[in-house]
Structure 1
Amino acid sequence: MTIGIVRFIRFGARFGRPVADRSSGRVMTRHPAGGDCATMGHVTMGDITQVPVTDLPDDFTGKTDSIMLDVREDDEWANGHIRGALHIPLAEIPARLDEIDPDTDLYVVCHSSGRSMRVLQYLAQIGYDGMCVRGGMLAWQEHGKPVEYGSGEPEVDAHR
């Protein structure tokens, strides 16, 4: 399953493009993990809700009704993240699904929204509902929202 999501993300630009089925002569839309999108709950990026950073709390610590899922790589996380966020790098999502409560409001963040949108496409196809943080961490920091480095206290980027 890990290979599936990595392929899904890497080749996400091809997701939803029509392809010809040479055996039947019909044109269909292919799901990145294989199969016909018509039978697999095709989700496009346009179907995913995006939420502006200004509509989100600064801190997700102790929240029981919502999860901020950060899908960036370890080095990106270390360079600043939203306080109280759950960090699961993109490639680890399938193996760590049990850490994501499907009954809470799910917000997904990455650097600028690209990976978040693709992760949300994947999650939607397996029954999860979530929202993309519009603009990702770039927008978060541009709006002066606090970030946490390591396990320290939140800080506001002073380079503005």
Structure 2
Amino acid sequence: MTVPEIEAHDVPADGYLLDVREQDEWVAGHAPEAVHIPLGQLQARVDEVPAEQTVYVVCRVGGRSAQAAAWLNHIGRTAVNVGGGMQSWQFAQRPMVSESGQPPFVA
């Protein structure tokens, strides 16, 4: 199954952005409005993901988010992979924040 994909610079500013990276990656740097659910927790926490809107899924480079988007689409949600992940997000100079007190970066 082909997973829909979008470039980081094309993700709508008001889109629902789901970050499926691990905790240490999230702490280092993430999009300000992103929701963090690590890939390994997604099946158990899927009810936290809105069913009525498109979900843009991001990880570090795009592999884990493609898996998550494929699964979400499989269960009837509308999910789009962010191609290139947070590395592309950072390259596109989209907003980022960190939880560490240090400048944000993609771990």
TM-score by length of structure 2 reads 0.87
Aligned to 1:67: 16
Runs of 4+ in structure 1 over 3 Å off? none
Aligned to 2:67: 118
Aligned to 1:136: 85
Equivalent pairs counted in the alignment come to 104
> Quick one: which of 56, 68, 82 aligns to 2:11?
56
> Quick one: which of 38, 49, 56 aligns to 1:107?
56
Q: Amino acid of the residue matched to residue 5 of structure 2?
A: Q
Q: What are the ranges of 5 or more consecutive residues in structure 2 without an aligned counterpart?
A: none
Distance 1:156 1:78 in 2: 8
Identity %: 38
What SS is found at the alignment partner of 1:118? helix
Structural RMSD (CA): 1.9
Contact kept, 8 Å, 2:27 with 2:100, in 1: the verdict is no
C-alpha displacement of 1:130:
0.8
Contact kept, 8 Å, 1:145 with 1:156, in 2: the verdict is no
Q: What are the ranges of 5 or more consecutive residues in structure 1 without an aligned counterpart?
A: 1-43
Of structures 1 and 2, the one with the larger relative CO (CA 8 A, separation 6+) is 2
> Quick one: which of 35, 41, 47 aligns to 1:92?
41
> Quick one: which of 22, 26, 41 aligns to 1:77?
26
Contact kept, 8 Å, 1:146 with 1:156, in 2: the verdict is no
Contact kept, 8 Å, 1:53 with 1:140, in 2: the verdict is yes
C-alpha displacement of 1:56:
2.1
1:45-75 deviations in whole A, cap 9, x for unaligned?
Answer: xx211111111245xxxx4xx3100000000
TM-score by length of structure 1 reads 0.60
Distance 1:151 1:85, change over 3 A: farther
Contact kept, 8 Å, 2:28 with 2:104, in 1: the verdict is no
